Structure 1
Amino acid sequence: MRLLDISTALALLFSLTAVAEDTKAKPHKSCTVRSPTSDRYFDLNPIVARLPVEGKKPHKHDITEGWHARGYDYPMNFTLNFCEPVVEKLKDVVGVDKALWANVSAYYTLHGDVYSIGQQNGEPVFRGRKLVLNYTDGSPCDSSADKRSKSLHEAEDLDAEKDDDKDEDDHKKEPKKGDKRRKSTIISLLCERDPLASTTVAFVAASPDECTYFFEARSFAACGGIEKETQQVGPSGVFGIIALIAVLAYFLGGYFYQRNVMHQRGWRQLPNYSFWAGIGGFFRDTFIILTSSCANLLPSRRGYSRVSLNGDNSRGRGRQAEDENRLIDQLDEEWDD
């Protein structure tokens, strides 16, 4: 009974340790989000376009080309990616530092010029029940729109000129270079439950000043689901942990039983002491049996061997010499005859 109680306590301790590890903060995975209302888990990585790995053949479901959206009645077509930069190599992006060209997640081309409409952002968010991905810090907004906005402000300033000269100067002040508005992108992701339907991206609209662009994407990845736990320990690891717990329960339980119930001391406190004490002799006897069997299987030496000159060997060699001499004399006599 005492051994069973100790085993149960060890198993409970291990379970509590495993639960404590599971409750630790897990690292956040890029391009994922959990809904604050439904607690569903959304992972957009399956629809992210990535360049194929060198030396590895791409899978048929891998996306290696950026997503395209036609402008239709709008004079531009768009290329974008989800959470990561576009796979196309961009050069001479208008109004963007060269170091940031590889970080563009959405762009369009007009008259041979490349315009960024947003830098990479791997953190989708929820606006109510809407899953949204937002890119910012693109190319500067269209200068013509700025001029239209500036002329409107100048007309208002002319009306207020007679009342306050100071307000007139403030309205005519030009914005600083670093204060320019930049293009941005908003992508609304909608669930597509048809398993045979592919992901689609559609251009919706652009703001009047051509600073913000709105897109709508339909995909199975936007339907959400249950987060797949990454198994930290393999089947062999789980078996090893169970075996370790069993061994600990055996030794600790046996130790407490031998000490408290059988009142043993020293090495006799080990469970099954007589077995462990005799296991050394068992291995020794097994080794002797195996080595003797192997010695009998070895082939015996053949051919000449060295003869000792002492003792019986010397007497035997003397008799052999006498026999040889007698044979020689006999042959000589036969030859003379």
Structure 2
Amino acid sequence: MKLTSSAHYSIFLLSSILGLSSATYSSHLEDDAPCVARSPTTGLYFDLNAISLSPPELKDGNKLSKDARNSSWYARGHDYPANFTINICAPVIENVTDVVGIESSRWKNVSAYYERDDKRYSIGQQASEPFFRGRKLVLNYTNGSPCPDDYNMGSSNGSSRTKSTIMSFLCDRDAAPNVATASFVGSMDECSYFFEVRSSAACGGIAVDPNAGGLGPGGVFGVIMVIAIAVYLIGGCAYQRTVMHQRGWRQCPNFSLWAGVFDFVKIWQVRVA
């Protein structure tokens, strides 16, 4: 069956609308929000904001949400003589003070630390730029407390290196939403610390920048419905006019059906009145 010019026009209109919607939706994915990384191999977006903790909102000294955490993520040191407190892409929730080798103005930016022998050591300042190293999603914290002098290769000016943290994120689809499990892997010289963080946030997906004003799932469904109705009307009218040679209201697709529905509603209203 040959397509009429009107049918061709309706198909062209549908493809144009779909292409425009796709291009608009994809453009929103190009702007990476803080704590978001895009895989160079799969193109998926990894949004770690779900496991980035903020201090709970308080009212009259009480938490507004009973489920809000009032502590950061913890990692046991096991054979290391200290446990670790970590946050993702943000400073720790705890009020950190008296950090070894860190100016007081920078205490509020500590994102990972541990306590040992009644001293508090920073293992990295806040950073919110995760990235991919090969297929691994990682996040680095740097500029922590000074490293031990023993590992400065004999420098006479004291330690010039500072403690840092490397976190590797692993996908855990069984994990509850907004939950992360941090595990301490090791430290070769008490200067660089390596952790693995398991979370469903590390599984990846198509994420839209919330500040970009993109369509949500409901909006996308609405656009699809509008396009479907438009194609139904345009294609139906084109068929009725060119093939069935109808004119006026009878050009509308399924005119008899809709006319019957209208008459039924009209009669029902008269009876109710």
Query: Does the pair score TM above 0.5?
Result: yes
Return the alpha-carbon distance in structure 2 between the equivalents of residues 23 and 200 of structure 1: 32
What's 2:56 paired with? 52
Higher Cα radius of gyration = 1
1:201 aligns to 2:182 (yes or no)? yes
- Match 2:47 to one of 43, 47, 64: 43
Q: Following TM superposition, by how much is the alpha carbon of 1:202 offset from its aligned partner in structure 2, in angstroms?
A: 1.5
- C-alpha offsets along residues 37-57 of structure 1, whole Å, 9 cap, x if unaligned? 233322222222221123472
Asked if the contact 1:131/1:189 (under 8 Å) is kept, the reply is yes
Q: Following TM superposition, by how much is the alpha carbon of 1:6 offset from its aligned partner in structure 2, in angstroms?
A: 9.2
> Structure 2 unaligned runs (5+)?
231-273
Asked if the contact 1:50/1:65 (under 8 Å) is kept, the reply is no
TM-aligned CA distance change 1:95 to 1:21, over 3 Å: same
Return the alpha-carbon distance in structure 1 between the equivalents of residues 40 and 71 of structure 2: 32
Aligned AA (1:194)? D
What's 1:116 paired with? 122
Q: Following TM superposition, by how much is the alpha carbon of 1:66 offset from its aligned partner in structure 2, in angstroms?
A: 0.7
- C-alpha offsets along residues 285-316 of structure 1, whole Å, 9 cap, x if unaligned? xxxxxxxxxxxxxxxxxxxxxxxxxxxxxxxx
What's 2:206 paired with? 227
Q: Following TM superposition, by how much is the alpha carbon of 1:193 offset from its aligned partner in structure 2, in angstroms?
A: 3.0
Q: Following TM superposition, by how much is the alpha carbon of 1:203 offset from its aligned partner in structure 2, in angstroms?
A: 1.3
Return the alpha-carbon distance in structure 2 between the equivalents of residues 13 and 220 of structure 1: 36
TM-aligned CA distance change 1:140 to 1:46, over 3 Å: same
Asked if the contact 1:187/1:214 (under 8 Å) is kept, the reply is yes
Q: TM-score, normalised by structure 2?
A: 0.64
Q: Following TM superposition, by how much is the alpha carbon of 1:206 offset from its aligned partner in structure 2, in angstroms?
A: 0.9
Within a 5 Å distance, the mapping from 1:310-329 to structure 2 comes to: none
Aligned AA (2:94)? E
What's 2:162 paired with? 182
Tell me the SS of whatever aligns to 2:50. Answer: helix
Return the alpha-carbon distance in structure 2 between the equivalents of residues 49 and 73 of structure 1: 27
Q: Following TM superposition, by how much is the alpha carbon of 1:216 offset from its aligned partner in structure 2, in angstroms?
A: 1.6
What's 2:238 paired with? none
Return the alpha-carbon distance in structure 2 between the equivalents of residues 206 and 112 of structure 1: 20
Tell me the SS of whatever aligns to 1:202. Answer: strand
What's 1:158 paired with? none
What's 2:269 paired with? none
Q: Tell me which protein shows more helix as a share of its residues.
A: 1
Tell me the SS of whatever aligns to 1:87. Answer: coil
1:78 aligns to 2:57 (yes or no)? no
Aligned AA (1:74)? Y
Same amino acid, percent of matched pairs = 43
TM-aligned CA distance change 1:219 to 1:7, over 3 Å: closer
1:125 aligns to 2:131 (yes or no)? yes
Q: Following TM superposition, by how much is the alpha carbon of 1:180 offset from its aligned partner in structure 2, in angstroms?
A: 1.0
- Match 2:140 to one of 134, 138, 146: 134
- C-alpha offsets along residues 107-145 of structure 1, whole Å, 9 cap, x if unaligned? 011222211100111111222222211111111111343
Return the alpha-carbon distance in structure 1 between the equivalents of residues 168 and 6 of structure 2: 61
Q: TM-score, normalised by structure 1?
A: 0.53
TM-aligned CA distance change 1:126 to 1:94, over 3 Å: same
- C-alpha offsets along residues 227-277 of structure 1, whole Å, 9 cap, x if unaligned? 144644886xx79xx7xxx9xxxxxxxxxxxxxxxxxxxxxxxxxxxxxxx
Q: Tell me which protein shows more strand as a share of its residues.
A: 2
Q: Following TM superposition, by how much is the alpha carbon of 1:191 offset from its aligned partner in structure 2, in angstroms?
A: 1.9
TM-aligned CA distance change 1:225 to 1:206, over 3 Å: closer
Tell me the SS of whatever aligns to 1:193. Answer: coil
What's 1:298 paired with? none
Return the alpha-carbon distance in structure 2 between the equivalents of residues 113 and 132 of structure 1: 28
- C-alpha offsets along residues 182-224 of structure 1, whole Å, 9 cap, x if unaligned? 000111222223346963212111122x1101112222222x2
Asked if the contact 1:140/1:183 (under 8 Å) is kept, the reply is yes
What's 2:267 paired with? none
- Match 2:35 to one of 31, 36, 41: 31
Asked if the contact 1:41/1:226 (under 8 Å) is kept, the reply is yes
TM-aligned CA distance change 1:19 to 1:227, over 3 Å: closer
> Structure 1 unaligned runs (5+)?
154-173, 247-337
